[in-house]
């Protein structure tokens, strides 16, 4: 069976991606801060890993190599967010954002490329965001990391092409999971937040996690066999309004 490695597998998009990839017949190697479990009935391996720690990532991929021998898809979903203007942001918070959101993708690629070379599918999919194109007040670190993800995706696509590996990114708009859940929990006016989501997208709503996961699955599949170095916007028309 083909094997997919998914980081951030315990989050909303990560969980949906795990489910979609399992339904497509993949065995799963799931990476998160705490051990993630494959969806019901799916075969796989759950690994606790700090994506900011090279040793932790290397250990995780050694376990993946021992279990599966090869990888067909590396899907980098993991990411964190932090709200703070530049003048007030702690250096440690800025560094942590860079280490997880961008450095984590570098590390999974570094240790994952040899396993992808042995696989059949040979695809990397990175999680970008419309925030890499439309900056948001008080989130300078996040928007910077998401812009960097797209540049890293292009650079890695150029390098990995000689190994037969495709590298692409998915850029969602607002998603009904993860960071949005946190924002809803913290706001005094959730109706206003939902109204903002309607106004932000041509389709008048935010995405469901499964809609993002299906785009990831397509990019990781043979149906996208001649697609590399690209960012697929799954944004309900967000970029067309901004």
CATH of the domain at 60: 3.40.50.720
Per the domain annotation, does 242 fall within a domain? no
Per the domain annotation, does 145 fall within a domain? yes
- Please report which confidence band the pLDDT of residue 178 belongs to, taking 50, 70 and 90 as the band edges: confident
Per the domain annotation, does 201 fall within a domain? no
- Please report which confidence band the pLDDT of residue 105 belongs to, taking 50, 70 and 90 as the band edges: very high
Per the domain annotation, does 187 fall within a domain? no
In sequence order, which residues have a C-beta less than 8 Å from that of residue 18 and are 6 or more positions away?
6, 9, 28, 30, 36, 38, 39, 42
Per the domain annotation, does 182 fall within a domain? no
Percent of the chain with pLDDT over 90: 83
E strand or H helix at 167, and its extent? strand 166-172
Question: Counting beta carbons within 10 angstroms of the beta carbon of residue 173, is it exposed (0 to 12), middle (13 to 18) or buried (19 or more)?
Answer: buried
pLDDT tens figures, 131-172? 999 988 889 999 999 999 999 999 999 999 999 999 999 999
Percent of the chain with pLDDT over 70: 96
Report the mean per-residue pLDDT for the chain. 94
Q: Is the pLDDT of residue 4 over 70?
A: yes
Mean pLDDT lowest among 121-135, 183-197, 227-241: 183-197
| Domain housing 15 | 3-176+208-237
Split into its structural domains, the chain has a count of: 1
Q: Let me know: does 210 contact 132? Beta carbons within 8 Å.
A: no
Q: Is the pLDDT of residue 92 over 70?
A: yes
The predicted model gives 21-45 an average pLDDT of 89
In sequence order, which residues have a C-beta less than 8 Å from that of residue 71 and are 6 or more positions away?
3, 4, 5, 29, 64, 112, 115, 116, 118, 119
The predicted model gives 27-46 an average pLDDT of 87
Per the domain annotation, does 202 fall within a domain? no
pLDDT at 185: 67
Mean pLDDT lowest among 42-46, 188-192, 195-199: 188-192
The token pair at 158 is: 């150029």
Per the domain annotation, does 228 fall within a domain? yes
Angle of CA points 5, 225, 24, to nearest 5°: 45
Active site residues: 142
Task: Give CA–CA dist 24/1, Å, rounded.
Answer: 10
The predicted model gives 59-86 an average pLDDT of 97
The token pair at 175 is: 């998603």
- Please report which confidence band the pLDDT of residue 184 belongs to, taking 50, 70 and 90 as the band edges: low
pLDDT at 61: 98
Q: What is the pTM of this model?
A: 0.94
Q: Let me know: does 73 contact 5? Beta carbons within 8 Å.
A: yes
Per the domain annotation, does 192 fall within a domain? no
């Amino acid at each position: 069976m083909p094997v997919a490695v998914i980081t951030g597998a315990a989050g909303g998009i990560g969980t949906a991606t795990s489910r979609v990839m399992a339904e497509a017949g993949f065995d799963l190697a799931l990476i998160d801060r705490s051990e993630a479990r494959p969806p019901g009935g799916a075969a796989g391996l759950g690994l606790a890993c700090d994506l900011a720690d090279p040793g932790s990532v290397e250990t995780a991929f050694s376990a993946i190599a021992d279990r599966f021998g090869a990888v067909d898809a590396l899907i980098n979903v993991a990411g964190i967010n932090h709200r703070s203007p530049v003048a007030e942001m702690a250096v440690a918070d800025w560094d942590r954002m860079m280490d997880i959101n961008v450095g984590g993708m570098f590390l999974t690629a570094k240790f994952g490329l040899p396993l992808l070379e042995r696989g059949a599918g040979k695809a990397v999919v990175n999680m970008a965001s419309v925030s890499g194109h439309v900056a948001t007040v008080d989130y300078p670190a996040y928007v910077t990391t998401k812009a960097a993800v797209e540049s890293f995706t292009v650079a890695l696509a150029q390098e990995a092409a000689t190994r037969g590996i495709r590298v692409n990114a998915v850029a969602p708009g607002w998603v009904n999971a993860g960071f949005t859940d946190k924002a809803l929990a913290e706001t005094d006016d959730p109706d206003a937040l939902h109204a903002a989501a309607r106004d932000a997208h041509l389709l008048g709503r935010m995405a469901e996690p499964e809609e993002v996961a299906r785009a990831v699955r397509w990019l990781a599949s043979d149906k996208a066999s001649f697609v590399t170095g690209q960012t697929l916007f799954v944004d309900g028309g967000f970029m067309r309004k901004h």
